Amino acid sequence: MRKREGLIWGASVIVRIACISNRLFLLAVAIGLAATWILAGFFGRLLAEPNPEVNLPAAMTGIRLLMLIGIAMAVATDRLLVPLAKIIATARAGDPFILANAQRLQAIGWALLALQLLDIPCALLARFWPSLGSAAPSGDVSVGGWIATLMVFVLSRVFAVGSVMRDELAGTV
């Protein structure tokens, strides 16, 4: 039993740290995006210094698009971590098989789906914005990510059916 309690405690700490880190990342990217317009001259000089032939308007547009994708990914990640923290809290309390956790798993599934779909604009940026250079995202399709997304939706359904069955059983005793 102690091993499980340690696992739940460790998961709780990790998810809490991930939530804070993700929100700090979101704030930093949002500030950075605003700064690309407020301090456009500074960023232009920063980009032109190592490579004077760089297409500055294209590079700035690519960077801004990359930051917008980063914001979308951070929001989706937050929509994943918050329900995960609540699921962990119910596991810590000793009653994770409830309908609310089925709904939370479904929300996590949608967040994972959003993250998988955000790979598409990443791939487009990598392909059509050569001015991003090494900053371009890979945009690779993750088979494991798609399987994990599907698995979470299936687990959501399992939790929903299981919690209804448990409630019915509790009502017959």
DSSP string, 24-51: HHHHHHHHHHHHHHHTHHHHHHHHHTT-
- What is the tally of structural domains in the chain? 1
Q: Half-sphere exposure of residue 67, counting CA atoms within 13 Å on the CB side?
A: 18
Instruction: Give pLDDT, residue 25.
Output: 98
Query: Average pLDDT per run of 10 along the chain, which is 173 residues long?
Result: 79 97 98 94 82 81 92 98 97 90 97 94 83 72 92 95 84 67
Distances (CA, A) of 50 to 40, 53, 170: 17, 9, 69
Instruction: Give pLDDT, residue 2.
Output: 64
Instruction: Give pLDDT, residue 161.
Output: 92
Instruction: Give pLDDT, residue 173.
Output: 57
Q: Please name the amino acid found at residue 142.
A: S
By residue range, what is the domain housing residue 124?
A: 2-172
- Residue pair 126/169 in contact by the 8 Å Cβ criterion: no
Query: pTM for the whole thing?
Result: 0.86
